[in-house]
Amino acid sequence: MKIKTQFINSMVIFGIMLIIIAASVIFTNQQVERLNTQEEIAKNIERGASELGYLSNDYLLYHESPQRARWESKFSELSNYLSNLNPNSPEQQTLVNNIRSNQQRLKAVFTDVVSTFENTSQGTVADPELFQVSWSRIAVQNQGMAFDAGRLSQMLHDQAEQLKQMNITLIFALLVVLGLYILTNYFIVYCRALGSISELQDGTKIIGSGNFDFAIKQRNDDEIGELSRSFNQMTANLKEVTASKTELEREITERKRAEEALRESEQRWATTLSSIGDAVISTDVEGRITFMNAVAEALTGWTLTDASAKQVTEVFNIINEYTRREADNPVSRVLREGTIVGLANHTILVKKDGTEVPIDDSGAPIRDLDGKTMGVVLVFRDITGRKMAEEALKGSEERLHFALETSHIGAWDMDLVDHTAHRSLEHDHIFGYEQLLPQWTYEMFLDHVLPEDRAMVDAKFIEATAAHSDWSFECRIRRVDGEIRWIWVAGRHQEDATGSARWMAGIVQDITERRRVEEALRKVHDELELRVQERTAELAQANEGVKAERQRLNDILNLLPAYLVLLSPDYHVSFANRFFRERFGESHGSRCYEYLFKRCEPCEICETYTVLKTKAPHHWEWTGPDCRNYDIFDFPFTDTDGSNLIMEVGIDITERKQAEEKIREQAALLDKAQDAIGVRDLEHRLIYLNKGAQRLYGWTAEEAIGKNADRLLYKEQSPQLIEAKKSVIEEGEWIGKLHQVTKDGKEIIVESRWTLVRDSEGRPKSILIINTDITGKEKLEAHLLRAQRMESIGTLAGGIAHDLNNMLTPIMISLQMLKEKFKDEQSQKLLTILENNSCRGADLIKQVLSFARGVEGERNPLQARHIITEIEKVARETFPRNIEIRTDIQKDLFTISGDATQLHQVIMNLCVNARDAMPDGGILSISAENCFIDENYAQMQTEAKTGSYTTIAVSDTGTGIPPKILDRIFEPFFTTKEFGKGTGLGLSTALAIVKSHGGFINVNSEVGKGTTFCVYLPAIKTEMQNIEEQQLELPTGHGELVLVTEDEDSVREVTISTLEKYGYNVLAANDGAQAVAEYAQNTDKIKVILMDMMMPVMDGHASIRAIRRINPEVKIIAVSGLAEKEKLKNIADYTNAFLPKPYTAEKLLKTIHGVLSAN
């Protein structure tokens, strides 16, 4: 058996075993990957069950739709995982079924819980036991799913590990088979092949030594045996070859002589071809290059060394000049057709570097003595110069044709033998023909010439023909349409190769218009000659007038109240009027810089001489050597002799500049004025605003000037505004009050003074308006009027109460006596009704007296804690059960001085009002705390005075008080309750009592959210309190930037001044939208935000949420007049602290310090 066959058999056996083992390994790996995927799904199910437990807890805690949506999303994801589980054993199938069952039960339990909570949340609070049961039901299902999923995951993991172990075993078997294969092949090669190869090697050495009679032994019938037989055959052949060696050497010597002769012939041929001026390339019969001369190398860019043996189409790359397509290569055509290929047209040779060269080329076959084609010789030349000449000639002909056509010149070429002529179309147009005639002769031309000119024309033709000279003349012709025209004809003889005149070429042009113009010019010339003579006499007379006019112009220039000079380019003064000479003196031929500035060279910067460069007028200001200011106007000027000069006009503006400076000083004074001062034109457009006006209205001068003042500063055309505009025009002035609006929409009241400004001729020019902001003054006056009205009502009520008491006293005494006299049931019932109503009347009179006089009671030191505790007890016993009562009393309250009964009446009245404001129930809060009112707080609350106070706050979560009636609630007899349920004296009496105690009441209310009444009662100054006030140290800032958002100007300004005083930097915002914008621009700088909760445009709630979106970590302090923090619970998660209004500097600074110090 052959070695090859043995190798093939062993390889086939090994390959089959390898395929079986590899297939097993691949199958095992696939099973492992599938099990790993199933294990990952099981783990995801286990994690998903845990996450469902967390999400279920979230829903049970908050039962909101977002938590429910997240639970359902996670449940759907869990279902997807379950659908991808493919168990491969009964145990796994059981676990998967258990998980699915638990999932369905979990879905049912959660749906039941959701339904229960939705029904519960509609009207009642969820039962804690329901929460516990629901949690347990859901937890059981979640834990069951997680447990089964964990077991399934572990089972899949164990199965995958077993398959991996099997895979390792198969790989080990593969290595064993590989080792057996190597041992088997080694045995075959070593035992059988190596011995035979050794014998073959020894025989080869013997044969190599020259012993061709030696034969190698053949031991096996395999490849080595066949090789031995081949060696023996080769030895026999070598023996025969050696015998003919002498004959072969002789043939080689003869071949070398022939090759040497051939090289000499080729050298002479190459020298000849290299000397030719054209490029030459030779190829063999297959189109491969065998020779290139130097010209061919230069034109193609290829050297013979590089191009040798390459296809000629690669080196000789030609394309068509017009189509840009590859042209038919002449070498290919010669080899294909076997004939000489002539010169081709429009061929472009593309050189090796990509440049293009126009060429002429041709090819011819190279034949041997027998006529057989041995190759091709290709000859080509560069025709760039010829192409350029042809292009130039073509362009010249086209330009000539265009020139003749545009000049309306006809061209002709006449045969002097038969007198026929070739013409251009313009030639026949001149003779009146629309189209080119088929034939034209000299005789036809003479027929068109007028008889008067015909003899002259013919004579000139005969003369030129005889002398072979040029033919040129002008004559008249009659066109085919009968019109007579003048033409000009010119011709020149052309000689043939023998030197004889064979034809004449020339041109013809219609010169009718030129002849007419020449005739007209001749007449005009004659007329002009006559007029020039007349004009010369007139100019002599006018010259005298010009001299007089020049003198008059010179006198006028000397009278100008400004200087006028003419300056030459070399700085000399050509002319100067009297004003210039009087101001600066005579120049006496010196240059301007010499006698004006005593300089030896021109000024470094000369505004005047920029005119010579720009050739345009130039305007500038100049301070002359006389220290006066001049407004300069420079103009380029051409003198009568054509020289370029500069005309400069200077106007003395010293007085105007002084006036402008004075005006600027006055404007600066106006800007310092606190009043708003503005000027509007008669169309009510603003033309001036001082700084005071810009501060008051918020508009800058750039924004306001040019705008309509009525649209800018007024919401509507009020009667006062209409009267002001009418009166100022008719009477010249107007004084009154106007309601205006600022840039941010704030309404203000101004005391306005309008004055009509007239020009120098007394005509109305503009309106001067001076406005003083009296908004605060108006509010103060309204407050005083209200106080006076309350005082008047109190005085009246006091008098009425006195008279009513006098009336009720005998009635009540008589009722007592009548009840003793009449004992029957009917009488007692009627008398009881009269007695009760009399008592109600007496109580009403007491309230009126309390309101009117304050009912000064006995003042004793007392603690507000006892009053509040007593009222709390009464309220809990008498108020409806749906009202929750809360109290918050600070320890160590300040002692106050007051009448306990009256203060009890005040607090009880406020609690009753709070109860009535919560018909459907709510929260009634009573709190008390110490506070110190400083100057900062006193500026925000006009009735407050600096000192220590005890604050009692009564808050409700009721309907609230509408803003439109909030200012009237303390008016006597004003009530919003139904008839018979209120007298309207409760709050007015409470206010009177509190004022009589030296205190005041603040009220804050929001419709639909509730109301807070804060009663401030001055504390008694104890020694300990005095020490505390003296030791009060307010925390200071360190340059932190605080954003204050407040719509009330007074509160905002006082807060800003306090913060700046104690070391903070402040940014202010009038509303929520501006606050968001300011924070967006200063996110990295602002450390804390004071945010008022009730503002226009964007309230505090919306503003806080918007700012939190920009920076969730920003520190925000909520500010509100609602003292109860419970009313702000919906934004509690968005703020860091709460500051109730009104607040003191101590509370403000401590709150900010606490927020900034917190982590």
Q: Tell me: the pLDDT tens digits for 214-252?
A: 666 666 666 666 666 776 777 777 666 665 665 666 767
Task: State the CATH number of the domain containing residue 167.
Answer: 1.20.120.1730
Asked if residue 1124 has pLDDT above 50, the reply is: no
Does residue 543 lie within any of the structural domains? no
Asked if residue 738 has pLDDT above 90, the reply is: yes
Tokens read off for 143: 């834990």
Higher pLDDT: 985 or 968? It is 968
Q: Are residues 1014 and 1024 in the same domain?
A: yes
**pTM to 2 decimals?**
0.31
pLDDT at 1030: 47
Higher pLDDT: 402 or 157? It is 157
Higher pLDDT: 1098 or 796? It is 1098
Which residues span the domain enclosing 351? Answer: 276-382
Q: Angle at which helices 128-188 and 3-62 pack, to 10 degrees?
A: 170
Catalogue the E-assigned strands of 293-448: 317-320, 347-350, 356-367, 373-382, 409-415, 421-423
Q: For the chain, count helices (H), then strands (E).
A: 36, 33
| The amino acid at 906 | V
Residue 448 confidence class, pLDDT cut points 50, 70, 90? very high
| Single residue among 755, 773, 791 that ends a domain in this structure | 773
**pLDDT per position as a tens digit, 271-306:** 666 667 788 888 988 889 988 888 888 888 998 888
Q: Are residues 724 and 809 in the same domain?
A: no
pLDDT at 1079: 92
Average the pLDDT over 983-1006 and give the result.
84
Residue 234 CA, chain-centre distance (Å), reads 90
How far apart are the C-alpha atoms of 671 and 665, rounded to whole Å?
Answer: 10
pLDDT at 548: 79
Does residue 467 lie within any of the structural domains? yes
Q: Are residues 618 and 572 in the same domain?
A: yes
**pLDDT per position as a tens digit, 495-504:** 776 767 778 8
How far apart are the C-alpha atoms of 564 and 732, rounded to whole Å?
Answer: 45
| Single residue among 805, 828, 853 that ends a domain in this structure | 853
Q: Are residues 1014 and 1039 in the same domain?
A: no
**pLDDT per position as a tens digit, 865-889:** 988 998 898 888 888 989 999 999 9
**pLDDT per position as a tens digit, 307-317:** 888 888 888 88
Task: State the CATH number of the domain containing residue 731.
Answer: 3.30.450.20
Query: Does 561 sit behind a cis peptide bond, omega within 30 degrees of 0 on the bond before it?
Result: no
Considering only 23-27, 239-243, 506-510, 535-539, which range has the smallest mean pLDDT? 239-243
Q: Are residues 420 and 567 in the same domain?
A: no
Does residue 665 lie within any of the structural domains? no
Considering only 651-665, 713-727, 797-811, 1099-1113, which range has the smallest mean pLDDT? 797-811
Closest CA to 1066 of 1056, 1055, 1053: 1056
Asked if residue 705 has pLDDT above 70, the reply is: yes
Label residue 616 exposed, middle or buried (CB < 10 Å: 0-12, 13-18, 19+): exposed
Q: Are residues 306 and 360 in the same domain?
A: yes
> Using an 8 Å Cβ cutoff, are 21 and 174 in contact?
yes
**pLDDT per position as a tens digit, 36-79:** 888 888 888 888 888 877 787 777 767 777 878 888 888 888 88
Task: State the CATH number of the domain containing residue 1120.
Answer: 3.40.50.2300
Q: Are residues 911 and 897 in the same domain?
A: yes
| Single residue among 191, 211, 244 that ends a domain in this structure | 191
Does residue 758 lie within any of the structural domains? yes
Structural domain count, the chain: 8
Q: Which residues contact 228 (CB under 8 A, 6 or more apart)?
A: 196, 199, 200, 203, 216, 217, 218
Asked if residue 938 has pLDDT above 80, the reply is: no
Q: Are residues 1005 and 1043 in the same domain?
A: no
- Phi, psi (degrees; rounded to nearest 5) at 215: -125, 135
Considering only 442-451, 599-608, 998-1007, which range has the smallest mean pLDDT? 599-608
Q: Are residues 980 and 1116 in the same domain?
A: no
**pLDDT per position as a tens digit, 906-928:** 898 899 999 989 999 999 999 99
**pLDDT per position as a tens digit, 1031-1046:** 457 788 999 999 999 8
How far apart are the C-alpha atoms of 513 and 492, rounded to whole Å?
Answer: 25
Does residue 478 lie within any of the structural domains? yes
Does residue 541 lie within any of the structural domains? no
**pLDDT per position as a tens digit, 88-131:** 788 888 888 888 888 888 888 888 888 877 776 544 445 666 66
Q: Are residues 1140 and 996 in the same domain?
A: no
Q: Are residues 888 and 942 in the same domain?
A: yes
Residue 247 CA, chain-centre distance (Å), reads 97
Higher pLDDT: 844 or 588? It is 588
Q: Are residues 59 and 75 in the same domain?
A: yes
Does residue 233 lie within any of the structural domains? no
**pLDDT per position as a tens digit, 607-630:** 888 888 888 899 988 888 888 999
pLDDT at 377: 87
Q: Which residues pair with 773 in a beta bridge?
A: 750
Mean per-residue pLDDT over the chain, rounded: 81
Does residue 251 lie within any of the structural domains? no
Average the pLDDT over 1080-1089 and give the result.
92
